[in-house]
Amino acid sequence: MASEAATILKHGWLFMLANVVNRAAGLLLLPLYTRLLSPSEFGVYALVVVVADLLAVMLMIGMNNAFTAVYFEHAEEGDRRRVASTCLLAVVGTSVAMVGLAWPLGMAGSWAMFGDTGHAAVMAIALAGVALTTLFELALAYYRARKRSGLCLLVSLAKVVALLAFNLLFLWALGLGVEGIFLANGASFLALGLLLVVAILKDTGVSFSLPILKRVAALGLPYAPQSLLDIANNFVSRWLLNILLSTAAVGLFAFGMRLSQILFMFLTASFLQIWSVSRLESQHGAADHGQADFVFHLFVVLLTGAGLGLALTAPEILWLIASADYTPVLTSMPFLVLAYVLHGVRMNPEVAILKAKRVGVLPWISAASLAVGSALALALVWQWGLLGAALANLGREVFQIVLTETVRRRICRDEVPLNAVRIGWILVPAAFAYAAGWYLFGTAVDPAFTAEKVLLVLVFLAAAVFGPGMGSTGRAMLGKLLLGRVRRLQSAS
């Protein structure tokens, strides 16, 4: 039987590719947004997205996470098909209801966020689009649970094509501005969602189980307040920037967050899709904690290297995709990027808590993090504006990862805990590499500097792999995996 590490890596690269493609539309469309929208308009877009995210959390009630957990609670294929059908039918019904309520909810959201109903139309369009998005996300969760990585890739390609086509139509050709973005999203997910619902129900059959739905809700409900609190953490800084500075400041902060989110979209989410499934699936058999820990450590090395590269090349990225109006965000980028690296590390204890079915503690962790993050934002945004918001976001993430790991060690004693020293052997060299890059290159955009920044990242990766953090055992395991991969490629040729 293949080792757990080999299984994770086998499907992981395809899921990573699928996730890269799945998120590629957002990255490809970002230059269109930043060229056609001013920072102030981008700020309006960011504030509307926060409200839409709140609806998505309430609509899904942690459905994706709970679906995967309940799916693997059942060993029989027939029971698993019934879980999938039940969850899908529940989301379809809820989505239809939310589309019908989009206009009154849009008016309420516009009044709450902007103090008037001037943005009610764009808010309603965004909320209806979110309801349709949930169908697509649950369908992908089903295919990930089935380890249908190739199909996930095809579906992701279809999503990219649809989003690009509709955004070019509504935003560029028709010039509909912020409204055009949300119209494009709604049209794309309506078409894809309906096709996927039909395909999955054809595969699973149409069946509904109230006990299964209750089980999913019981396991998923704790995720709803946790996710709401996580969104509130993101909202606080944006709201304070809007109140104390301007909507343009919100747009700059949101743009920086969007760039930093590349780490989550292309690496963390991709890795988590297969790693979390593998960890949950291991409850039905003997688990190799050592290999799982090695794979996670390797992921943190790659995530930190990508974060270092993103932070160093932020001036080049901004020069390529945005107008000069977005330049003030550069000083905040290293702190925003580091927060997303730590977010990836935090997934380790969170998955362990999910596996132990103790998710009820997660909302309390998020609530404590919200309190700390809000206090930091109040103190730092008032003092340093955009930079203060980035520092508050980083401080909240540091607090949340420490608290989550502390709780995990108390309730998941059979899991391998995070090793702060090993993580430090990754983060500290990255910090020195970034400091050297900032000192040598600053914000200048020059091809020679860009090449030297890439060299800095490679030096960091070498230090992380051959340094004390990886250890001789980890390097031996990495060597075996790479050697096995080379042999398979030679056999195939």
pLDDT of residue 481: 64
Confirm if 25 and 164 have CB atoms less than 8 A apart.
yes
For residue 180, give the 3-state DSSP assignment.
Answer: helix
- Which residue type sits at 280? L
Residues in the chain: 493
Q: CA–CA separation, 470 vs 464, rounded Å?
A: 7
E strand or H helix at 160? helix 149-167
Residues 6 or more apart whose Cβ sits within 8 Å of residue 57 = 224, 227, 228, 231
pLDDT of residue 49: 86
Instruction: Look up residue 417 and give its DSSP letter.
Output: P
Instruction: Spell out the domain ranges in the chain.
Output: 14-24+224-486, 63-220
Q: Per-residue pLDDT tens, the chain, 493 aa: give them.
A: 345 455 555 555 565 666 666 666 777 888 889 888 889 999 999 888 888 877 776 666 567 667 877 888 888 888 899 988 998 898 888 888 888 888 998 898 888 888 788 889 999 999 888 888 888 888 888 888 887 777 877 888 888 899 999 999 998 889 888 999 999 999 999 899 889 989 999 988 898 989 888 888 887 776 677 677 777 877 888 888 888 888 899 999 999 998 998 888 778 877 776 777 666 665 555 455 667 777 888 889 999 999 999 999 999 999 998 888 999 999 999 999 999 999 999 988 988 888 777 877 888 898 899 999 999 999 999 889 999 999 999 999 999 999 999 999 998 877 778 888 889 999 999 999 999 999 999 999 999 999 999 999 999 999 888 878 776 666 666 666 666 655 665 565 5
pLDDT of residue 482: 62
- Report DSSP letters for 330-360, one per residue: GGGHHHHHHHHHHHHHHHHHHHHHHHTT-GG
E strand or H helix at 472? helix 471-492
Helix, strand, coil % in the chain, rounded to nearest 5: 90, 0, 10
Q: In which residue are the tokens 């930190």 written? A: 304
pLDDT of residue 1: 39
CB-facing half-sphere around the CA of 387: CA atoms within 13 A:
6
pLDDT of residue 2: 43
pLDDT of residue 287: 52
pLDDT of residue 336: 97
